[in-house]
Amino acid sequence: MEFHVWEPVYERILADFGFGRAADERARDRLASMTSPFDLDALSGFEGATVAVAGAGPTLAGEAAAAAAADRVVAASSAATTLRDAGIEVDLAVTDLDGAPERLAGMSHGGTPVAVHAHGDNVDALERWVPEFADHRLLATTQAEPAGPVRNFGGFTDGDRAAFLADALGAERLRFVGWGFDDPSLGEMKAKKLGWAERLLYWLESRRGERFGVLDGRREDLVLPTE
For 80, residues 6+ apart whose C-beta sits below 8 A from its C-beta are 54, 90, 93, 95, 100, 103, 104, 107, 112, 114
**Count, residues in the chain:** 227
pLDDT of 227 strictly over 90: no
Q: Where are the domains of the chain?
A: 3-219
Residue range 67-75: mean pLDDT, rounded: 98
Report d(CA 100, CA 198) in Å as an integer. Answer: 24
pLDDT of 185 strictly over 90: no
- pLDDT tens for each residue of 132-151: 999 999 999 999 999 999 99
pLDDT of 183 strictly over 80: no
Least confident of 104-113, 126-135, 177-186: 177-186
CATH code, 3-219: 3.90.1480
Report d(CA 140, CA 24) in Å as an integer. Answer: 13
What pLDDT score does 182 carry? 84
The whole-chain average pLDDT of the chain stands at 96
pLDDT of 184 strictly over 80: no
Report d(CA 108, CA 96) in Å as an integer. Answer: 15
Q: What angle do CA 125, 129, 135 make, to 5 degrees?
A: 130
pLDDT of 13 strictly over 80: yes
The fraction of the chain above a pLDDT of 70, given in percent, is 100
What pLDDT score does 31 carry? 98
What pLDDT score does 186 carry? 81
